[in-house]
Structure 1
Amino acid sequence: MSADPSADRQEADQSAAARTVPLARGLSAKLLLLTIAFVLLAEVLIFLPSVASYRMAWLKERLGTAAAVSVVLVQGDPQSLSRSAQDDVLAAMGATAIAVRDGGVSRLLAVADMPPSVDEHIAVADTGMAEAIAGALDTLVFGGERMLRVYGPVGDSDKEFELIMPDRRLREAMLTYSRTVALIALLLSLVTATLVYAAIDRIMIRPIRAMTRSMLSFSQAPDDPSRVISPAARADEIGVAERELSMMQERLQRMLAEQKHLADLGLAVSKINHDMRNILASAQLMSDRLRQAKDPAVQAFAPKLLRTLDRAVAYSEGVLAYGRTQEAPPARRRLRLRRLVEEVHGLLDIGEGIEFVNAVPPDFEIDADADQLFRLLTNLARNAVQAMAADTESALVRRLTVSAERKGSVSRILIADTGPGLPPKARENLFAAFRGSARSGGTGLGLAIAQELARAHGGGVELVESVGGRTVFAVTIPDQPVRLEAARGILRRPA
């Protein structure tokens, strides 16, 4: 613990700040800005063909007006129109000259001030969209001081009308149109962004924010069941995420509870272990005196008693090690399995009416750690005996059979009993400590320890069969692999 309370408070404040997302950096703000940006981008893509179409429509309208004036002038006498009248007509249209081409003959109908040159020729009937967009951008950026020649047919007339005009009015009209479109686009983007934001915020952001708060709250007190998120009844990805998060939090709570059980078990065993070792030491002294007795029965019994006491000490330390750390690596040797099974039989507290059958062949050898394999078989055999001991019906066959077989370099030990079988809950949590017990009040540590010891040998424990009247566990232990260097050394030795 830190000696400076202010430093602890500062560290807590920094941790809280790291867990809090500012509004400006949150998903909501990012979503709103991205929506506005994307809508504006879409409006820009729409604006280009729109302003190009507006430019061509404006020019066609002027050309149509010029065509109407041309019809009047052609039917009358263009020379009879005074100069001031021609100027008024051209000024109203924003043009400097009007001409008509009929049958290959071009006639100048009205002219105010003929320019020396024309900057751009626009055929309103033959201009494509790409060319129109390029022309619109050119007019917006560089226009205002250039002269245009606009020509083409109007309606069903076979005549072609021409209009010479400056582009100043056209550019002013396009700028006004662009400002209107930009304002509408901005307003549309804000409305769209607001609607999209409100919809996505309700559908996605709020549930994600709720999951974030749940995870932060759960991390502060993971053992509190009220901190587990309550998933909504949704069938989409958010609903799946909420349900998975809820199940993960529940599994984590169970794991923490199991770890707490293991820690409590380790603490309890560590308190008991000291006194138990003293008691067993006294028992070992008394057993040493029993060796001096001349009674043959006592002489035969004393070594078994010593081995049992040694194993009792090792078991208390092994339970403590299981609650605290992992098992030690196995010290593997070649063993005669039948003799080891006989020792397991001698240690079991088998009640009346239960038969123990050692069906292991006398010459069967296995490559394993003697103490760890003894513990493994003892746990499995004791579970079988306890399951059969619960049946008190005298007519029932209660038999525990231990057999073995070898397939190549793999040894397989079968522990079969005629008990009632495992209940479904025990089969679901078969090798889980504190959850895999088939008896009321059991801890389930026996199968968990057996599985850990078998895996330390590179094998495993599996439930082969479990029905009423027959339960079979199989322990698989492969021989340890031969080191390549050692095998080469043996092959190189002279015969």
Structure 2
Amino acid sequence: MQVMDNRMADKATIDAGADSLHAVPRGRGLSAKLLVLTAIFVLLAEILIFLPSISNFRLRWLEERLGTAAAVSVLLVQDDAAHLPREVQNEVLMSIGAKAVAVRDGGVSRLLVVSEMPPHVDEHIDLANTRPLTAMGDALDTLIFGGDRTLRVFGHVGESDKEFELIIPDQRLHKAMLAYSRNVGILAMLIALSTAILVFYTIDRMMIRPIRAMTRSMLDFSQAPDDPARIITTGARVDEIGVAERELAGMQQRLQRTLGEQKHLADLGLAVSKINHDMRNILASAQLMSDRLGEVKDPTAQSLVPRLVRALNRAVSYSEGVINYGRTQEAPPSRRHLRLRQTVEDVQGMLGIEPDGSVEFENVVDANFEIDADSEQLVRVLTNLCRNSLQAMASDTESAIVKRLTISAERNGSVSRILVIDTGPGLPQKARENLFSAFRGSARSGGTGLGLAIAHELVRAHGGTLELVESIGGRTVFAITIPDQPVRLDEARSSLRRPA
């Protein structure tokens, strides 16, 4: 029920993710955000360009007026402006929009024409010595607050050594700057919009669409991960998007294989549980027959009955463990101090290795060697390793080939190390790469690889390691390393306090 609830919760999460992807409002998607941000950034760039542009427009406008006044001033100086009628002077000033024109030559200032001298001047502008930042600030000030001010503009025109001066209201300048700003604003909007559309289209084709496709592929794959058609199709791109697509495809393929293996394990577990249910009944009957066999007075039967009883008891225990494994996990080890040599002898008896058989079995463990482990689980570990060795050596049919299985042990401080050595052909490369993976680490055709996977899990439960030390033609060595249980400090103190 818990697994079913988890699957339903996962499906609900996947469906919610798919619904949220399709329910993204058009104005809040990545594409819309990209378009708006691009337009904003382009407008910001146009604003930064606008400030020096409007400043330059203001200075050029004033320079044109001062240049026109200088040209008129030359004529006025030659024709003696004092004799010009007032109407002619006004027409000259009106043509350039000024109220007065003066010229400074040799330190002497001379007022050439004047229509109306203003009571005060609001701003003095030296066209030759205006700094860029000051010019931009003055331009903004004129654009925003100008229109009713009087300006005094002076400077040299061309290569003339004379300095010309112009008294002019800024009304025309203000209107010209407003018109210029309007035109620049319209042009900036068009540039921003066209640039945003081009950038949006380019990035949408290069990035947003592939990312959207990968997102849709992940959601589709999560709904049916066992369907090979749901794996994303990769292209020939070599950039980051292409790498992401290929990595996503590889991850989906690996996940699909993993899910297939898990399903295989689940199906196998169900099948094994069913088989073990009936096997337990058969083994119970075998136990009854072994009890009757124990009553037989034959010496050979009497010597074999204890081994048979131990083997049947272990088989019944394994069957119950397999059934329980479908409901829980492997039971934690119940560790005791064991005589390892006798445990190895039990393994030899379970494997049916006869002294005069084709395989030499060497138990070189010292008779006094002790190990801190779970008896049943250690037997399972050694049985799986030895059975794999026997199956590997059975593939050699030539009688001259040495077939030897050796088990030895050594101790280093509080750590026990067991070596299982055979003279088989060695493990192939594929088996080494997936050594302790079920259904992938088998060295022979048709094997499941469960033996090494089970042994690895049981050794790890003891806090130890199972590793392949060497595997070449004629020598394969597996090492089981199991540390002793750590002594609890409170128990050690209690044992020391007990009276002798």
The TM-score, its normalising length taken from structure 1, stands at 0.94
SS of residue matched to 2:159: coil
Query: Using a 3 Å threshold, how does the CA distance of structure 1 residues 87 and 317 change in structure 2: closer, same or farther?
Result: farther
Match 1:25 to one of 28, 33, 45: 28
Match 2:37 to one of 34, 44, 48: 34
Distance apart, 1:350 and its partner CA: 3.7
SS of residue matched to 1:397: coil
Query: Using a 3 Å threshold, how does the CA distance of structure 1 residues 79 and 191 change in structure 2: closer, same or farther?
Result: same
Query: Using a 3 Å threshold, how does the CA distance of structure 1 residues 91 and 410 change in structure 2: closer, same or farther?
Result: same
Residue 348 of structure 1 contacts residue 382 of structure 1 at CA under 8 Å; is this kept in 2?
Answer: yes
Distance apart, 1:266 and its partner CA: 1.4
1:355 matches 2:355: no
Residue 273 of structure 2 contacts residue 322 of structure 2 at CA under 8 Å; is this kept in 1?
Answer: no
In structure 2, list runs of 5 or more residues that go unmatched: 6-10
Residue 19 of structure 1 contacts residue 216 of structure 1 at CA under 8 Å; is this kept in 2?
Answer: no
Distance apart, 1:22 and its partner CA: 3.6
Distance apart, 1:170 and its partner CA: 0.7
Matched residue, 2:287:
284
Distance apart, 1:459 and its partner CA: 1.5
SS of residue matched to 2:457: helix
- 1:93-133 CA distance string (max 9 Å, x none): 11111111122221111111111011111111111111011
Residue 414 of structure 1 contacts residue 473 of structure 1 at CA under 8 Å; is this kept in 2?
Answer: yes
Match 1:367 to one of 365, 368, 372: 372
Distance apart, 1:484 and its partner CA: 3.1
Q: Distance in 2 between matches of 1:196 and 1:350?
A: 77
Higher mean alpha-carbon deviation, 475-484 vs 367-376, is at 475-484
1:265 matches 2:272: no
Q: Distance in 1 between matches of 2:56 and 2:186?
A: 19
- 1:234-268 CA distance string (max 9 Å, x none): 22211111111111111111111111111111111
Distance apart, 1:469 and its partner CA: 1.1
Query: Using a 3 Å threshold, how does the CA distance of structure 1 residues 18 and 194 change in structure 2: closer, same or farther?
Result: closer
Matched residue, 1:55:
58
Query: Using a 3 Å threshold, how does the CA distance of structure 1 residues 493 and 198 change in structure 2: closer, same or farther?
Result: same
Q: Distance in 1 between matches of 2:352 and 2:57?
A: 101
Matched residue, 1:414:
419
Q: Distance in 2 between matches of 1:487 and 1:68?
A: 114
Q: Distance in 2 between matches of 1:241 and 1:323?
A: 38
1:315 matches 2:321: no
- 1:69-111 CA distance string (max 9 Å, x none): 1121122201011111111111111111111112222111111
Distance apart, 1:24 and its partner CA: 2.4
- 1:149-178 CA distance string (max 9 Å, x none): 111111222221111111111111111111
SS of residue matched to 1:175: helix
Matched residue, 2:445:
440
Distance apart, 1:273 and its partner CA: 2.2
Residue 225 of structure 2 contacts residue 256 of structure 2 at CA under 8 Å; is this kept in 1?
Answer: yes
1:403 matches 2:403: no
Query: Using a 3 Å threshold, how does the CA distance of structure 1 residues 246 and 13 change in structure 2: closer, same or farther?
Result: closer
Distance apart, 1:274 and its partner CA: 2.1
SS of residue matched to 1:331: coil
- The equivalences for 1:38-117 within 5 A come to 38-117=41-120
SS of residue matched to 2:334: coil
The amino acid that maps onto 1:110 is V
Query: Using a 3 Å threshold, how does the CA distance of structure 1 residues 188 and 324 change in structure 2: closer, same or farther?
Result: farther
Query: Using a 3 Å threshold, how does the CA distance of structure 1 residues 19 and 326 change in structure 2: closer, same or farther?
Result: farther
The amino acid that maps onto 1:143 is G
Matched residue, 2:474:
469
- 1:253-299 CA distance string (max 9 Å, x none): 11111111111111112212221111111111122222333333333
In structure 1, list runs of 5 or more residues that go unmatched: 3-7
Matched residue, 2:144:
141
Matched residue, 1:394:
399
Q: Distance in 2 between matches of 1:246 and 1:20?
A: 26
Query: Using a 3 Å threshold, how does the CA distance of structure 1 residues 488 and 89 change in structure 2: closer, same or farther?
Result: farther
Q: Distance in 1 between matches of 2:348 and 2:22?
A: 59
Q: Distance in 1 between matches of 2:23 and 2:290?
A: 68
Distance apart, 1:493 and its partner CA: 5.7
SS of residue matched to 2:254: helix
1:245 matches 2:248: yes
Higher mean alpha-carbon deviation, 483-492 vs 165-174, is at 483-492
Distance apart, 1:300 and its partner CA: 2.7
Distance apart, 1:323 and its partner CA: 5.5
1:460 matches 2:470: no
Q: Distance in 2 between matches of 1:366 and 1:92?
A: 115
SS of residue matched to 2:460: helix
1:298 matches 2:272: no
The TM-score, its normalising length taken from structure 2, stands at 0.93
Q: Distance in 2 between matches of 1:246 and 1:302?
A: 59
Q: Distance in 2 between matches of 1:95 and 1:407?
A: 107
SS of residue matched to 1:174: helix
Higher mean alpha-carbon deviation, 194-203 vs 241-250, is at 194-203
Q: Distance in 1 between matches of 2:131 and 2:272?
A: 91
Matched residue, 1:5:
none
Q: Distance in 2 between matches of 1:375 and 1:414?
A: 15
Query: Using a 3 Å threshold, how does the CA distance of structure 1 residues 201 and 181 change in structure 2: closer, same or farther?
Result: same
Q: Distance in 2 between matches of 1:484 and 1:116?
A: 103
Matched residue, 1:128:
131
Residue 156 of structure 2 contacts residue 162 of structure 2 at CA under 8 Å; is this kept in 1?
Answer: yes
Q: Distance in 1 between matches of 2:151 and 2:369?
A: 108
- The equivalences for 1:422-433 within 5 A come to 422-433=427-438
**Percent of aligned pairs with the same amino acid:** 70
